[in-house]
Amino acid sequence: MFARKVSMQLKPGAVAQFKDKIENEIIPELRKQKGFLDEITFLYPSGKEAHAFSIWETAEDAEAYNRQSYPALAQIMAPLFDGTVRIQTYEVLNSTVRKAVATMSA
């Protein structure tokens, strides 16, 4: 499995709109992507910073999403952010998602 982490600084007062866009626009689009497994978004208690992790079956699936769909989704979210969004990628060494996916496909 493979993970993408998108880190962003939120504009003041943007938390409610950020949450709404993640739930109603971003996650539905992610679910349409080949190899997408899960999304988890963390928000600092201050509401100033968020980190969104998406989990993918393969690095190739995550890269295809990054090239094809991410730019349009980034445009949707851009008005809510201050500064530059940071993207990092990881190989997933351990996850209960992997076990859940294996159980569901059996």
Residue 105's identity, in one-letter code, is S
What pLDDT score was predicted for residue 102? 56
State which residues form the domain around 25: 2-105
Q: Which two tokens stand for residue 106?
A: 């059996």
Task: Name which of 24, 62, 18, 61 is nearest 42 in CA terms.
Answer: 18
Q: What percent of the chain has pLDDT over 70?
A: 91
Tell me how crowded residue 2 is: count the other CB atoms within 10 A of its CB.
19
What pLDDT score was predicted for residue 96? 82
- Give the pLDDT confidence of 17-68 residue by residue, as tens digits: 999 999 999 999 999 999 999 999 999 999 999 999 999 999 999 999 999 9
Q: Which residues of 36-58 are buried (b: 16+ CB within 10 A; e: fewer)?
A: bbbbebebeeeeeebebbbbbee
Per the structure, the count of domains in the chain is 1
Give me the CATH number covering residue 8: 3.30.70.100
